């Protein structure tokens, strides 16, 4: 299997601020694999707070170049092998993993959802993310999001009441709230009671990653689900969240790809927990890979490609908020012609 990689910067439509920090640009990395006349594409959106960067993705991908993975059509063997060869670097693993599924799907002439026995009719409605900003900019973003029936609002930077008041003045749409670890227990207990009264559907990651006891206290007063994001990276994390969080947010970049995401879905379903599939700031390549799995989950937050100006790929579409998968083989993604030149 031939493996190529390159870095590419994504330019954001608006500066994107969460409780973790603000960005205008994201440094992603891409892989292309080739074998027997087929090719597969993959994307890595590494995040500094997981100590992963575009250059560490490229270094990790280099380590895979001389390994004999066997026949790529046995994609489960190949992706398991990939998992073992490099420590950490989950965004790099996600890129290679999705590229293998892409190529295996093309070789079978089946879209990934068919390869995996998933019904594409059952894709959920995706939310559209509103980052932390001034009331003027938030107002503009809410108006830009007119075609999306669900908003996901980032809180946790000290101006939560102002943001929510501003949005609720403009719309009565369903809102999901993501505090990105930004609250204390007392603050969260107070805010959850306020937010559930203004039609908020659920709250994502109110507290820092390890504060599981704090989540249990919030849950005692909360009528709406509390979803783990930063606390739920891979399948092995989920049993430790059971009994505290109501659900988990799966992202390919945190877990290391489709193979691990499917394990997380199975684990969370076994424990009767809610499941969301989310994304980082990514192009239509990684967003499409994740979208194939969304018929298996309760909520989708796949808008990373809608937040950038220079998407180099075409794939999943959104119609009135609903994710629409096409019937092209593999991930169903086409790449701008000169991207790899």
Residues 120/112, Cβ–Cβ less than 8 Å: no
**Structure-block tokens of residue 169:** 């003045």
CA gap 245, 267 in Å, rounded? 14
The tally of CA atoms less than 13 A away on the side-chain side of residue 271 is 22
| Least distance (Å) between residue 207 CB and Mg ion | 13
| Least distance (Å) between residue 205 CB and Mg ion | 5
Q: Name residues whose C-beta falls within 8 Å of residue 200's C-beta, 6 or more positions apart in sequence.
A: 175, 176, 177, 224
CA gap 177, 309 in Å, rounded? 25
What angle do the packed helices 258-270 and 90-108 form, to 10 degrees? 100
| Least distance (Å) between residue 143 CB and Mg ion | 23
Which is closer to Mg ion, CB of 106 or CB of 254? 254
Residues 222/243, Cβ–Cβ less than 8 Å: no
**Structure-block tokens of residue 41:** 């594409």
Q: Contact region for Mg ion (CB under 5 A) — 28-36, 124-132, 222-230, 315-323? A: 222-230
Is residue 236 classed exposed, middle or buried when 0-12, 13-18 and 19+ CB atoms within 10 A define those classes?
A: exposed
User: Following DSSP, what letter does each residue of 52-83 receive, concatenated?
Assistant: --HHHHHHHHHHHTT-----TTSHHHHHHHHH
Q: Contact region for Mg ion (CB under 5 A) — 44-52, 123-131, 150-158, 224-232? A: 224-232
| Least distance (Å) between residue 150 CB and Mg ion | 14
| Least distance (Å) between residue 116 CB and Mg ion | 25
Which is closer to Mg ion, CB of 164 or CB of 333? 164
Which is closer to Mg ion, CB of 86 or CB of 200? 200
| Least distance (Å) between residue 72 CB and Mg ion | 33
Residue from 229, 246, 260, 311 in contact with Mg ion (CB under 5 A): 229
CA gap 292, 116 in Å, rounded? 9
Which is closer to Mg ion, CB of 248 or CB of 258? 248
- CA 292 from chain center: how many Å? 12
Which is closer to Mg ion, CB of 160 or CB of 229? 229
Degrees, nearest 5: CA angle 25-258-67: 90
Q: Contact region for Mg ion (CB under 5 A) — 33-41, 106-114, 143-151, 228-236? A: 228-236
| Least distance (Å) between residue 178 CB and Mg ion | 4
197 to 216: interface string for Mg ion, x by CB under 5 A:
-------x------------
| Least distance (Å) between residue 200 CB and Mg ion | 14
User: Following DSSP, what letter does each residue of 302-317 receive, concatenated?
Assistant: --GGGGBS---EE--E
Which is closer to Mg ion, CB of 155 or CB of 335? 155
Which is closer to Mg ion, CB of 105 or CB of 278? 278
Residue nearest to Mg ion (CB): 229
76 to 115: interface string for Mg ion, x by CB under 5 A:
----------------------------------------
Name which of residues 137 to 196 contact Mg ion (CB under 5 A): 178
Which is closer to Mg ion, CB of 229 or CB of 246? 229
Applying CB under 5 A, the residues found at the interface with Mg ion are 178, 204, 229
């Amino acid at each position: 299997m031939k493996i190529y990689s390159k870095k590419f910067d994504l330019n954001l439509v608006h500066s994107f601020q969460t409780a973790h920090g603000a960005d205008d640009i994201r440094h992603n990395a891409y892989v292309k694999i080739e074998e027997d006349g087929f090719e597969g594409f993959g994307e890595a959106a590494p995040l500094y707070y997981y100590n992963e960067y575009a250059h560490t993705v490229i270094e990790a991908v280099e380590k895979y170049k001389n390994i004999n993975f066997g026949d790529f059509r046995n994609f489960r063997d190949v992706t398991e092998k990939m998992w073992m060869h490099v420590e950490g670097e989950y965004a790099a693993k996600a890129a290679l993993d999705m590229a293998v599924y892409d190529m295996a799907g093309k070789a079978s002439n089946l879209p990934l959802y068919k390869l995996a026995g998933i019904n594409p009719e059952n894709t959920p409605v995706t939310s559209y993310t509103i980052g932390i900003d001034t009331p003027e900019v938030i107002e503009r973003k809410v108006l830009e999001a007119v075609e999306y029936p669900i908003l996901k609002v980032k809180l946790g930077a000290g101006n939560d009441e102002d943001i929510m008041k501003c949005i609720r003045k403009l719309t009565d749409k369903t809102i999901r709230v993501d505090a990105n670890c930004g609250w204390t227990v007392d603050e969260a207990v107070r805010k959850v009671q306020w937010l559930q009264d203004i039609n908020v559907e659920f709250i994502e990651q109110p507290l820092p990653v390890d504060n599981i006891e704090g989540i249990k206290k919030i849950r005692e007063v909360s009528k709406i689900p509390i979803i783990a994001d930063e606390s739920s990276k891979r399948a092995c994390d989920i049993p430790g969240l059971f009994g505290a969080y109501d659900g988990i947010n799966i992202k390919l970049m945190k877990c290391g790809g489709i193979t691990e995401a499917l394990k997380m879905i199975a684990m969370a379903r076994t424990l009767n927990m809610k499941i969301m599939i989310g994304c980082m700031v990514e192009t239509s390549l990684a967003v499409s890979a994740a979208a194939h799995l969304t018929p298996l989950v309760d909520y989708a937050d796949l808008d990373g490609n809608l937040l950038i100006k220079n998407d180099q790929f075409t794939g999943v579409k959104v119609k009135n908020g609903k994710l629409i998968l096409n019937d092209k083989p593999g991930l169903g993604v086409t790449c701008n012609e000169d991207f790899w030149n």
